[in-house]
């Protein structure tokens, strides 16, 4: 038997007592773990709550989109345009008429039409839609008739038939929007606008009443 050589043990590396300073900290998930570590029933509850919240958010989003799509902007631009036309004609009367009854009517008409128009503009704004006056449907021929009457010095005799025609047209436009819209708030506004116009028609037809 050959004699075995001496046992050789490799020298151990010295231990660095400050090695912990170079250790990288374990990364933690930025999102709290709401599922791991919980019982099966608790995990089911967490998932169910998340699903319910998601369904509610989707429903609200779809409701907003659906509401906006139900606004008939073409028809509403006609309504707001005719309200503007009434305001324009009444403003011409205030500047050119000497008849106190026409002046009283014109101030009332401006207040009524401005309020009705503002209500629609605000409703649209509350639903993320900006009304654009450039899209309002006006009746320039009515303005031209009154301006011609001014030139021929018979404004007072021309004002009643021109304004009455525009009020009747406004009633028709409002009535059409009332029938066409499926939004209760629009139907309510159109019903109020129609009643207000009936009062203006009565006031204009009976200026001394």
CB 91 within 8 A of CB 110: yes
DSSP letters, 103-116, are HHHHHHHHHHHHHH
- Answer left, alpha or beta for residue 63, where phi above 0 means left and psi between -120 and 50 means alpha: alpha
Q: What CATH number has the domain spanning 72-205?
A: 1.20.1260.10
CB 93 within 8 A of CB 103: yes
Q: Which sequence spans correspond to the domains of the chain?
A: 32-69, 72-205
- Whole-structure pTM value: 0.67
CA 197 to CA 112: how far, in whole Å?
Answer: 8
Burial of 56 (0-12, 13-18, 19+ CB in 10 A): exposed
Per residue of the chain (209 residues), what is the pLDDT tens digit?
Answer: 555 555 445 555 556 555 555 666 565 555 455 555 566 666 677 677 777 776 676 444 444 444 455 889 999 999 999 999 999 999 999 999 989 999 999 999 999 999 999 999 999 999 999 999 999 998 889 999 999 999 999 999 999 999 999 999 999 999 999 999 999 999 999 999 999 999 999 999 886 65
What are the structure tokens assigned to 59, written together?
């429903």
CA 185 to CA 170: how far, in whole Å?
Answer: 19
């Amino acid at each position: 038997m050959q004699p075995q050589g001496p046992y050789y043990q490799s020298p151990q590396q010295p231990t660095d007592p400050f090695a912990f300073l170079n250790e990288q900290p374990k990364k933690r998930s930025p999102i709290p773990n709401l599922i791991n570590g919980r019982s099966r029933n608790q995990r089911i509850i967490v998932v169910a709550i998340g699903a319910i919240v998601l369904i509610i958010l989707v429903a609200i989003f779809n409701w907003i989109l659906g509401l906006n799509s139900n606004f008939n902007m073409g028809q509403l631009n006609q309504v707001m345009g005719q309200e503007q036309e009434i305001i324009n004609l009444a403003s011409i009367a205030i500047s050119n008429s000497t008849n106190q009854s026409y002046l009283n009517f014109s101030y009332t008409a401006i207040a009524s039409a401005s309020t009705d128009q503002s209500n629609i503009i605000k409703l649209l704004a509350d639903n993320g839609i900006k009304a654009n006056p450039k899209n309002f449907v006006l009746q320039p021929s009515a303005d031209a008739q009154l301006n011609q009457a001014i030139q021929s010095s018979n404004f007072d005799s021309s004002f009643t038939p021109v304004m009455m025609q525009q009020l009747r047209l406004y009633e028709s436009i409002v009535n059409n929007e009332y029938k066409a819209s499926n939004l209760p708030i629009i139907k309510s506004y159109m019903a109020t606008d129609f009643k207000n116009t009936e009062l203006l028609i009565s006031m204009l037809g009976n200026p001394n009443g």
